[in-house]
Amino acid sequence: MPTMFNDLTLRPNQPDRSRRAGTPCGTMTGTSLRSLAVDEFNGPRGDFYKNMFAKCPAGRPDTVDEVANVAELLMGDRGAFITGTDVLIDGGATASYFYGPLRP
């Protein structure tokens, strides 16, 4: 589930041109969605997810810290020129699905 931040809430007194928004999009992390992820892994599509993570370049789902690192970059000064974009944090699973070993 993507988590969107809006820099407007972080820097309300800045001019409009300095406001930015970004969306770090993780996979199944240990966040509040963890119970949903466990249900998915143990549900009817569980084999699909296990296969997906086994064959993606990272070989595993993302961690909370990995998603937080991207959010920190997007919200911080080092990411000031990154705006209006979604950042996929999936260890290469999506690319593997469309172009690699997970391709249907």
Please check the confidence at residue 54 and state whether its pLDDT lies above 70.
Answer: yes
Angle between the N-to-C axes of helices 46-55 and 34-42, in degrees from 0 to 180, rounded to the nearest 10:
100
For the CA atoms of the chain, what is the radius of gyration?
16
Residue ranges of alpha helices (H) inside 16-57 are 34-42, 46-55
pLDDT of res. 61:
82
104 — pLDDT class (breaks 50, 70, 90): confident
Summary mean pLDDT of the chain: 75
pLDDT digits (tens, 9 = 90+) for 1-52: 344 444 444 455 555 555 566 777 777 665 555 666 777 778 888 898 888 8
Nearest-angstrom CA–CA distance, 17 and 26: 27
DSSP lists the bridge partners of residue 24 as: 87
